[in-house]
Structure 1
Amino acid sequence: MSQKILRAAVILSALFVAACSTPNPTTSATSLSNADARIQLVHDARQAMNSLYASTPHAKELANQSVGVLIFPGILKAGLLVGGSGGNGVLFSNDGNVLGYYKVRALSYGLQAGAQDFSEAMFLMTPGAKQYLESSDGWSVGLGPSVVLADKGMAKDFSTTTARSDVYAFVFGETGLMAGLGVQGQKITKLKE
């Protein structure tokens, strides 16, 4: 591939990712008060959590054993050679209280094209994992606590007695068309109050 074609593909990819990553103006913090946006985010996160529990009953058992559950109800992933993803989420205690608000961002490069929206739940199983999330200046997944991506096959055989990792992540509710979901390369940062 010539350098001009490669540069054009990278520029078009960046524009595509930027266009797909722009928040919906009807629900962004600029059109709603910060409090209203947070209320909507908590509502969306609880709906996503209930959807996960309905499709994966073991996730509810895992939540009961966790020290916190971080839910991102709508992560948008888009790309054309260069890709990106992002969304906002809520950290809940295992009894359902809101502990904080977070954003997740990721960049990727490779043979990819398309756009997809999905939800992600991260079950923090140890006090150390929760403390790392709350005290670090942004958690880059892959550094810090160990994360296991729980797929549908694992979720069927999964029980709280076999849970041995710091964090279990579930990706669910996918819409759109894009190959390769995962949590690698994500950076999670606490939102300012």
Structure 2
Amino acid sequence: MAGTPLAAQRATPVTDGTAHTHGCHRVAASPPFTIERPIAMNKKLLSRRTAAALAAVALLGTQIAACTTTSPNAQGSDVMTSTNKHATTNSQADSALSRLYTTADGSRELVSRAKGVLVFPSVLNAGLIVGGQYGEGVLRSGGRPLGYYNIASASIGFQAGAQSRALVILFMTDDALNKFRASEGWTAGVDATVALAKIGANGAVDTNTARQPVIGFVLTNAGLMAGASIEGTKITKLNE
């Protein structure tokens, strides 16, 4: 191989199995390079990764189902909580009506004649600085609960030191009651005029008040609240 350039003598390795030279020595050819084994390995690796991915998706689906499904026990607990809450509201409403009967002569008769009786046993002050009151109550007809409501008001005659009031609204006609129940948000003074009960000289509810389609009573621990206003008070049915 005299005269042959050194670069030419150092042939590039080949992959076809033939012999090649390295310097001046002949070197046996390496077996032909094959990609079959790497392909097989890649297929196995891909198979394992795919199986792992599918298992992860299945696990995630199970976790999502667990998070978005309410168990029967949890549902039962919610029902019991709602039932207890309603029982408390009704008990407090009975107490508020008893106070009304002893405070205003003739109020029991008005309640018995009313087509609907809405009682908020305790309207609480949300804050003397911020203002606003809130409470929950029950609507009854013939002594039977028809639904539960909340009340939101800018003010129902609150003064410093006076933190709670009871509000009773009587719907004396079917029309007044039906309009209230059909509304999605009933506002006193807008959807209907509420005549706040007044006590006459004889200690009984004023007869002019008794003739109104919607009558309201605002109660304190001391009795009926004089000079109260419920204009703008919004009443909304609770979604239960």
Taking structure 1 as the reference length, what is the TM-score of the superposition? 0.71
Give the C-alpha shift of residue 114 in structure 1: 4.8
Gaps of 5+ in 2: 1-77
Residue from 148, 151, 160 that aligns with 1:104: 151
Give the match's secondary structure for 1:99.
strand
Could you tell me which amino acid in structure 1 is paired with residue 153 of structure 2? Answer: A
Separation (CA, whole Å) in 2 of partners of 1:51 and 1:162: 19
Aligned residues: 158
Match of residue 93 from structure 2: 45
Give the C-alpha shift of residue 136 in structure 1: 0.4
Say which structure, 1 or 2, has more relative contact order (CA 8 Å, 6+ apart).
Answer: 1
Residue by residue over 1:75-112, the C-alpha shift from the partner in whole angstroms, topping out at 9 and shown as x without a partner, is 0125445410010011111x31111111100125xxx6
Q: Determine whether 1:146 maps to 2:211.
A: no
- Assess if the C-alpha contact under 8 Å between 1:69 and 1:124 holds in 2: yes
Q: Determine whether 1:185 maps to 2:232.
A: yes
Give the match's secondary structure for 2:95.
helix
Separation (CA, whole Å) in 1 of partners of 2:230 and 2:236: 14
Give the match's secondary structure for 1:45.
helix
Taking structure 2 as the reference length, what is the TM-score of the superposition? 0.58
C-alpha RMSD of the superposition:
2.9
Match of residue 120 from structure 2: 72
Give the C-alpha shift of residue 57 in structure 1: 2.8
Residue by residue over 1:98-137, the C-alpha shift from the partner in whole angstroms, topping out at 9 and shown as x without a partner, is 11111100125xxx65542011111111111111111101
Separation (CA, whole Å) in 2 of partners of 1:60 and 1:157: 11
Structure showing greater radius of gyration is 2
Give the match's secondary structure for 2:230.
coil
Counterparts of residues 100-179 of structure 1 (less than 5 Å): 100-108=147-155, 113-153=160-200, 156-158=203-205, 163-174=210-221
Q: 1:164 to 1:49 in 2, by over 3 A?
A: same
Residue by residue over 1:50-94, the C-alpha shift from the partner in whole angstroms, topping out at 9 and shown as x without a partner, is 11112223111101211011000000125445410010011111x
Q: 1:104 to 1:162 in 2, by over 3 A?
A: closer
Gaps of 5+ in 1: 1-29
Match of residue 139 from structure 2: 91
Could you tell me which amino acid in structure 2 is paired with residue 69 of structure 1? Answer: V
Separation (CA, whole Å) in 1 of partners of 2:178 and 2:87: 24
- Assess if the C-alpha contact under 8 Å between 1:61 and 1:160 holds in 2: no
Could you tell me which amino acid in structure 1 is paired with residue 166 of structure 2? Answer: S
- Assess if the C-alpha contact under 8 Å between 1:147 and 1:167 holds in 2: yes
Give the match's secondary structure for 1:57.
coil
Could you tell me which amino acid in structure 2 is paired with residue 139 of structure 1? Answer: W
More strand by share: 1
- Assess if the C-alpha contact under 8 Å between 1:141 and 1:186 holds in 2: yes
Match of residue 81 from structure 2: 33
Give the match's secondary structure for 2:154.
strand
